Amino acid sequence: MALYLIGDVQGCDDALARLLQRIEFSASRDTLVLLGDLVNRGPQSLAVLRRLIAMEGAAHCLLGNHDLHLLAVAHGVRKPHRSDTLDDVLNAPDRDRLLDWLRARPLALQMEGWLMVHAGVLPQWDVPQTLSLARELEAELRGADWGVFLHNMYGNRPDRWNDGLRGIDRLRVIVNALTRLRFCSVDGVMEFETKDSAASAPEGFIPWFEVPGRLSEGQRIAFGHWSTLGDVRRTNLLALDTGCVWGGCLTAARVSGKSVERLSVDCVQAQKPGA
């Protein structure tokens, strides 16, 4: 029995199939956690969703920003971007079932001592608070008024956490941190424009995981979202977006406590580097 964490698939079902074959994954024996951005930019988003739904129980999937974008487009909240590759899902005869399954996915998980998110954790959050705030957001997406949340989800303000935040301001900070965060200031102000490597941090900002004294420091955290980050190998940090859809590879990490074994497969480039 093994636990595998997999980075951003983004609609690359062929690569996912080859990676599962390489790790000799068995749904009756092993567990997968996919760290969000299951869909978009790659050519096979529908196939990815159907594969993962068929593995229910063995595959746990986090929501990423591209997954939320699909929900927003399907709900008429956002217009499709010219580089989107979501038509196969949007035109599928079972689209409602697929979208309902997607919006029921979690935004944070903890297994085998690892906290798993799509993007990042704000410096003011410890692990219990991160999981609790993720549950708040999940309840909104799974509730009857989930469309109201989608209509108010987008925006960069507020740009920092405050325990007194309420309503949509509170939810927007939570969703932005868990699905969009790369850089922030030492006091937790989030920056969303820069998408390059950690070395390209704008003045006054640093990668979220380098904030001194962050409350999650010392906790093992796995995340995706940052394809341009580069190779980060730290005992308590596992970055798994290795740029599959941008011509890089798709990576799985077999984790057991502090032990980590990485396995990757190449992926055909489908897009130019981007978000």
Domain membership flag for residue 159: yes
> 96 is written with which tokens?
């409602």
Domain membership flag for residue 275: no
DSSP secondary structure string for all residues of 145-207: THHHHHHHH----S-S--TT--HHHHHHHHHHHHHH-SEE-TT--EE-S--S-GGGPPTT-EE
pLDDT tens digits for range 8-17:
999 999 999 9
Domain membership flag for residue 75: yes
CATH number at residue 9: 3.60.21.10
Domain membership flag for residue 272: no
> 201 is written with which tokens?
């941090």
Structural domain count, the chain: 1
- pLDDT the model gives residue 264: 96
Confirm if 118 and 107 have CB atoms less than 8 A apart.
yes
Domain membership flag for residue 117: yes
Alpha helices in the chain (DSSP H): 13-22, 45-54, 65-74, 87-90, 95-103, 127-142, 146-153, 167-180
- Domain containing residue 105: 3-266
CA 256, CA 247: separation in Å to the nearest integer?
29
pLDDT tens digits for range 96-125:
999 999 999 999 999 999 999 999 999 999
| pTM score | 0.96
Domain membership flag for residue 274: no
pLDDT tens digits for range 116-156:
999 999 999 999 999 999 999 999 999 999 999 999 999 99
Domain membership flag for residue 32: yes
Domain membership flag for residue 205: yes
| Residue 185, strand partner residues | none
Q: Please name the amino acid found at residue 36.
A: G
